[in-house]
Amino acid sequence: MDENFIHGKLIIPSDTPKALVIFYPPATGDKGHQAEEAKKLKELNYASLLYDPPYRKNMSKGGLADLNGEKELWKEAREHFPKVVQDFKKHLGSEQMKIFVVGKNIGGSVAAYSVDSSVNCLIITGSVPILSTFWVTSEHPVAREARKDISNQQLKRFQNEMKVFDLTETVLGLRQKVLIQLGTKDPWIEKQQADTLKNKISKNTMIQWIEDDHIMATENSVTQRQKFLKECD
């Protein structure tokens, strides 16, 4: 059974689901890949929420042009998360069921910053490891265009104040099992950043390189995520 929900769209199996999966989407773009993934999880008896978060379509140029507004979006997402979990469990009538989160691109970064102890496992896929540095120093065309009219002083402030949202900071405080998927063909992922992340993560976090691009929707990427979720059951 699929239905609209106050926080997004629910995809629910006919039998009692063995776990609840919350999908955090990219900031913009089609959520179709996550919808297809949720349908596959439905066949494996997982319930899924295609979450419609506060940050969706409100993040612009990585926050360079509106640092205060960007920080508020991240904080709002974190404050909103317990309510999402509570409503999700109440709607399905299960307080004890496990909660898993799968975040894609910026959604993975926001999820890592937002999740609390109610979450059993977290998957971060196609997310820039150090966003605060990416927007300031990366040669990626999107980053260069975003900082084109931004002063050096603004860039320095942005880098300092957005650091708390970087994966190199957020995953360190997580006690859950965490899978971070990085695509070998993803132009948003810089090796130096990936190496820094690798050196900072704790033993409950695994980095998995996959031959994929920024969308991270190949059959192998999806299969590896399903495998990880099964290990978390």
HEC profile of the chain: CEEEECCEEEECCCCCCCEEEEEECCCCCCCHHHHHHHHHHHHCCCEEEEECCCCCCCCCHHHCCCHHHHHHHHHHHHHHHHHHHHHHHHHHCCCCCEEEEEEECHHHHHHHHHCCCCCCEEEEECCCCCHHHHHHHCCCHHHHHHCCCCCHHHHHHHHHHHHHHCHHHHHHHCCCEEEEEEECCCCCCCHHHHHHHHHHCCCCEEEEEECCCCCCCCHHHHHHHHHHHHHHC
Q: What pLDDT does 95 receive?
A: 83
CATH topology assigned to domain 2-232: Rossmann fold (3.40.50)
Q: What pLDDT does 64 receive?
A: 77
- Each domain of the chain, given as residue ranges in start order, spans 2-232
Per-residue pLDDT in tens (0 to 9) along the chain, 233 residues: 555 667 888 999 999 899 999 999 987 766 789 999 999 999 999 999 999 887 765 665 566 777 788 888 889 889 999 998 988 888 888 888 899 999 999 999 999 999 999 999 999 999 999 999 999 999 999 899 889 888 999 999 999 999 999 999 999 989 999 999 999 999 999 999 999 999 999 889 999 999 999 999 999 999 999 999 999 98
Q: What pLDDT does 209 receive?
A: 98
